[in-house]
Amino acid sequence: MKVLILCTGNSCRSQMAHGFMQSFDKRIEVASAGTEASGKLNHKAVEVMKEIGIDISHHSSDSVDLYLDKQWDYVITVCGGANENCPAFLGDVKHRLHIGFDDPSHATGTPEFIQNEYYRVRDEIKEAFYKLYKEEILPQL
């Protein structure tokens, strides 16, 4: 089973989703990418994932171009609002899904509020991707 998770910058939400999906089942080959990959991970995303025992610090922020010539069972976009540029993936894909999340890197306010936005989005990603795993992916493995 091969899963590609797409976002714009591939530094935060797609990286968290990548970490969760890999943690659910080692039989799943997971990659993440962005249309405008930043080339680095969001340090707060790494931090909030590490707090729950998932280390994504070794991930890389990659361009979607690296994955266009591969076959995928699932390609999942995780962009949030309609004003974001959600990637269109035209490669060989069995299932295309969109599961949108707010971008915590755009949060403004007190440090506590911003930290809580990272926690909230992390937990929403975990819940949505675990549901996808249990209901759709696991029965196919």
Render pLDDT for 6-45 as a digit per residue (tens, 0 to 9): 998 999 999 999 999 999 999 999 999 998 898 999 999 9
Active site residues: 7, 79, 86
CATH code of the domain covering residue 18: 3.40.50.2300
Q: What pLDDT band is residue 90 in, cutting at 50, 70 and 90?
A: confident
- pLDDT tens, 65-80? 999 889 999 999 998 7
pLDDT reading at 91 higher than 80: no
Query: Domain containing 114: what range?
Result: 2-140
**Nearest partner of 75 among 105, 42, 34, 40, judged by Cα:** 34
Question: What pTM was estimated for this model as a whole?
Answer: 0.94
Give the chain's domain count.
1
